[in-house]
Every structure is written in C-alpha cells, then in structure tokens.
A and B are shown apart, each in its own frame.
Chain A
Amino acid sequence: MTHEDDRTLAYALIAAREAGRACVLATIVATKGSTPRKVGARMLVDPDQGLVGTVGGGCGEAEVIESAHRVLECGVPERVRVDLTEDFTSWSPAVCGGVMDVFVELVGQVDRPSRRPS
C-alpha cells in the first residue's frame, strides 16, 4: 500500500463510520508464491459507495466480495484463503501461481445479533 492508498482508504472508512454505515474491510494478511497484490493490500466494501481499493481483482477478489456479504450479514470476521494456483497453461485468470489469506471484518455495527461477544 502506498501512502496515498492508505489515505484514500482511511478517509473512506472514516466517512462510512461518520455516516453510521456498516461496511467490510478486507486485508491481505499472508501470501505464498506470486499474487497480484501483497500483504497489506486492502479493499473496503461499502454497500453504499461500492469498492475502494483492490485485493487483486478477478476471481480471487470475487471470493472476497462473497465473504464480505456474509460478514456484513452476521458480523463475524472471516479468513478466506484464495487459491490462484491453477495450471499456468490454462487461460483462467487465476494463474498468478500463488495463494493468499484475506482477513474480512466488519467496520461499524450491524442491526442483527451476532455470535461475536463485544
């Protein structure tokens, strides 16, 4: 993450929080092999404003967005393992050759009860 990415994301987070909107933050916490983005890359899923930042795009990011919907629903953080190690000779977009772990967490409150103690 560059300082500018950091700043953009921080402002988006603060704006969502001040508007009282719950959103989801996804952070790449570990990678193995080649991945489009590295540890520390972040994406904010704001149900109102869309996506801010990226964790690499493509199928991997789609998995993270699916997880974000679950997290938004029940408030419980998830750790998603995204596997991009399909055969190099295939035309799949998931051929970077690596695996990454993405931590997906809620920022703000959900109305529904969650199993997570506060």
Chain B
Amino acid sequence: MSDSIDAAQAARALLEVAEAGGTGAAATVIGPPESTRLGRRMVHTVEGDSGRTLGSLGGATLDSVVVALLRDLMTDPRARDGVRRIGAKEDASGEVELYVEVRRPVRELILVGAGHIAQPMAHLGALLGYRVTVLDDRPDFATRERFPDADRLIRADFSDPFAEIELHERSHLLLVTRGHKYDYECLIRALRADPAPAYVGMIGSRRRVRATYVQLIDEGFEREVLERIHAPVGLDIGAETPEEIAVAVAAELVLLDRGGSGFSLRSVERVAERFFDSTGSGEPRDRETPP
C-alpha cells in the first residue's frame, strides 16, 4: 500500500499535466471528522492514452473506487469540483467524504501582434486563467517589460506566424497586428489550422471586416469556416479605448466558455419590476411575499 501524497506534490502533478495538455484529478479525504484517513490524498492523471495514479487513500478497494470516480469526473466536461461521498459498502472502514478537483488542459490565448490592444488583453487573459503567448515581427514590441503576464514572447514572421507554436482545440487566437494585411494573412493560416482553434477573433471596423469576408469568399472559403471568425471582435459594450476593447474581447471569451446570455443581469432579473406592481400603480409590493 503506497503512501498518501501531500498537497504540494498533488499541486505540482496537476499543474504539470494541465500544462502538457493532459487532464488530472485529485481526491482528498475531508470527512468524517473522526476518520483516520483525514487529509489523505491521491491524484490520477491522463495524458494521451496513459493513466497514472499517485498516492493512496489507505485501502486498495477504496483507491480503485476513487480512481474510477476521478476518471468519470475527468471525462464529464460539466463535472464540478466539490464534495463526494463514498458509501460504507465500498470501504470496510465506513463512509468517506472526499473533496474532488479536476484540472483540465490549460487554455491558450495567442495574441498575434504586440500593440496597444495586446497589452491589456495579455493582462486580462492571464487573469482569466489563459496561458498567454504574444507574437510580433518587431522584437521591440513583444518584450517582457510590455508583457509581464505573458508566458511566451515569440518573434514571428506574419507570413508564417504559427511556425513555432502548436495550434489545437484549446487555442484562442486574437489577431491584432499593426496592419490589416497581416491580420488577413494570419487569419487564413488560422482558418486552415487542423485541429481548428477554439476561437479566432480579428480586430477591425464593420467595414474592414466586411471587406475581409468578401476576400475570403473569393478565396473559396465555405460559410461554416467564415462563421467561426469572431469579427467584429468582442461583445457590444460600446468599447473605444484599447483597454475597453480588451474587456469586450475578454467578456466574449467568458461568454463562450460559460454560455451566458450576454445581457446585463439587471435586465435578466428585472428586480425593480418584480418589486413594484406591474399595473403601474407605483405602489411597492408587500415585501413579505416575494414575487
């Protein structure tokens, strides 16, 4: 019977697997309070076809039940971290309460162009948990001073911008180069990438974007491919400054990830309307009987 692993070992294992594009999960015994296993922890990781288990909760039967549970959680994209109970029948020493957590492959945000919008976007991307990469053909722009939050700074030629990086289903691209000509070249590369990136956003006014679509249709791109492009980019929040535009794009990324409505919550909840009579009498409702 192997030993439990501690939180530091577990954190390192989960971080490493997520950064390598794999999935990992941990289970920690958090109850019942009198359990002799309190604080014991195990980790299961899957990278490609290979699964690996680290640590033990202190019982072969319990371990195998928990590994099965962790594997189920890892394959269910809607599974949430939290408390799970293992019944007494699976474990001779009685019921066990576990805290389970899953780490999925790290999402990447790739900023093509290191200009005014890329700077606040790198901050927001890191804040939202993306691993941020900044590409530019100008070495003076893609610098550590300008992008303290970026994971990678790459000098790239826009005629072959993704030569040094691997694009995959977790890649989120934002095309914000210094010229629309370069944005367009990079856009074509992004649309031809296989597997297709999760998000391809391109900066540009409505007019500019329209011209791009016309060009793409002339190049023979199908409607399904065009529909993958996020341009004009971001949510409609009236953004004007580079920082505001970055917020609009960040909001769009969260929306796609979480599946919200994009509306203001006050107009979804309509609190004022619920508290006042809909007949327009102006009299507040009785607060003891919630609408």
The interface residues of chain A, by DSSP majority, are classed as: mixed
- The answer to whether B181 has its CB under 8 Å from any CB of chain A is no
Question: Contact partner of A6 among B11, B28, B82, B99, CB < 8 A?
Answer: B11
Interface band, chain A: 20 to 34
In the complex, the answer to whether B30 meets A13 with C-beta atoms within 8 Å is no
Residues on the B chain within 8 Å of A116, using CB:
36, 38-39
Taking the closest CB of chain A, its distance from the CB of B275, in whole angstroms, is 14
- The answer to whether B18 has its CB under 8 Å from any CB of chain A is yes
Question: Contact partner of B38 among A2, A77, A101, CB < 8 A?
Answer: A77
- The CA-CA distance from A10 to B15 in the complex, in Å, is 8
Question: Contact partner of B11 among A14, A29, A77, CB < 8 A?
Answer: A14
Q: Which residue of B lies closest to A31 (CB)?
A: B82
Question: Contact partner of A103 among B18, B99, B103, CB < 8 A?
Answer: B99
- The answer to whether A72 has its CB under 8 Å from any CB of chain B is no
In the complex, the answer to whether B129 meets A105 with C-beta atoms within 8 Å is no
Q: Mark A49-63, 1 if CB is under 8 A from B, else 0.
A: 000000000000000
Number of interface residues of B (CB under 8 A): 31
Residues on the A chain within 8 Å of B107, using CB:
3
In the complex, the answer to whether B82 meets A103 with C-beta atoms within 8 Å is no
In the complex, the answer to whether A6 meets B15 with C-beta atoms within 8 Å is yes
- The answer to whether B101 has its CB under 8 Å from any CB of chain A is yes
Taking the closest CB of chain B, its distance from the CB of A22, in whole angstroms, is 11
Q: Given A25-B7, A77-B38, A107-B6, are A6 and B103 neighbors across the interface (CB < 8 Å)?
A: yes
- The CA-CA distance from A16 to B36 in the complex, in Å, is 26
Residues on the B chain within 8 Å of A16, using CB:
8
- The answer to whether B128 has its CB under 8 Å from any CB of chain A is yes
Q: Which residue of B lies closest to A103 (CB)?
A: B30
Taking the closest CB of chain A, its distance from the CB of B147, in whole angstroms, is 14
Q: Mark A1-26, 1 if CB is under 8 A from B, else 0.
A: 11111110110011011000000010
Residues on the A chain within 8 Å of B128, using CB:
2
Residues on the A chain within 8 Å of B30, using CB:
29, 77, 79, 103
- The CA-CA distance from A17 to B5 in the complex, in Å, is 12
- The answer to whether B196 has its CB under 8 Å from any CB of chain A is no
- The CA-CA distance from A104 to B88 in the complex, in Å, is 24
Taking the closest CB of chain B, its distance from the CB of A49, in whole angstroms, is 14
- The CA-CA distance from A17 to B6 in the complex, in Å, is 10
In the complex, the answer to whether A76 meets B38 with C-beta atoms within 8 Å is yes
- The CA-CA distance from A107 to B7 in the complex, in Å, is 6
Q: Given A79-B30, A105-B39, are A4 and B8 neighbors across the interface (CB < 8 Å)?
A: no
Question: Contact partner of B39 among A6, A106, A108, CB < 8 A?
Answer: A106
- The answer to whether A36 has its CB under 8 Å from any CB of chain B is no
Point out residues on B near A: beta carbons under 8 Å: 6-8, 11-12, 14-15, 18, 28, 30-31, 33, 36, 38-39, 80-83, 99, 101, 103, 106-107, 126-131, 149
Closest 8 pairs (CB-CB, A-B) = A2-B129, A10-B11, A13-B8, A3-B129, A17-B8, A77-B39, A29-B99, A10-B15
